[in-house]
């Protein structure tokens, strides 16, 4: 225990602690309602190969941000914790204030 490696920087903070729901699962409905600029998130996920061109085009074809987020989240959740974690890190990059707000409000 004393020889543990130092914790990584806060920006690599994991979204799931043992025995807890993943951040993406816990805040799904709020993410759907509050993330409005989805394009840069999609771009990053495509670049990192967490979604493919077909999924990218399908999500972009939806009219409202809520429909886009619903569709994106269904793909992310279906792909499991690795994809959820990648999505969370991309969200932290593009929606830092929202993520911090959700974290603060969930600990109250």
DSSP string, the chain: -TTPPPPPPGGG--S--TTS--HHHHTHHHHHHH----HHHHHHHHHTTSS-HHHHHHHHHSSSHHHHHHHHHHHHHHH-HHHHHHHHHHHHHH-HHHHHHHHHHH--
pLDDT: which is higher, 88 or 2: 88
Which tens digits make up the pLDDT trace of 53-86? 999 999 999 999 999 999 999 999 999 999 999 9
- Res. 106 pLDDT band, cuts 50 70 90: confident
Residue 86 pLDDT: 95
Domains and CATH numbers, the chain: 21-106 (1.10.533.10)
Burial group, residue 10, by CB count within 10 angstroms (0-12, 13-18, 19+): exposed
């Amino acid at each position: 225990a004393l020889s543990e490696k130092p914790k990584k920087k806060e920006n690599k903070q994991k979204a799931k602690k043992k025995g807890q729901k993943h951040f993406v699962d816990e805040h799904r409905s709020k993410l759907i309602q509050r993330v409005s600029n989805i394009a840069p998130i999609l771009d990053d996920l495509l670049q990192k190969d967490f979604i493919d061109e077909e999924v990218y085009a399908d999500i972009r074809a939806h009219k409202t941000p809520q429909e886009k987020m619903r569709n994106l989240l269904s793909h992310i959740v279906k792909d499991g914790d690795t994809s959820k974690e990648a999505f969370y890190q991309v969200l932290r990059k593009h929606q830092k204030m929202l993520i911090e707000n959700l974290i603060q409000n969930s600990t109250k």
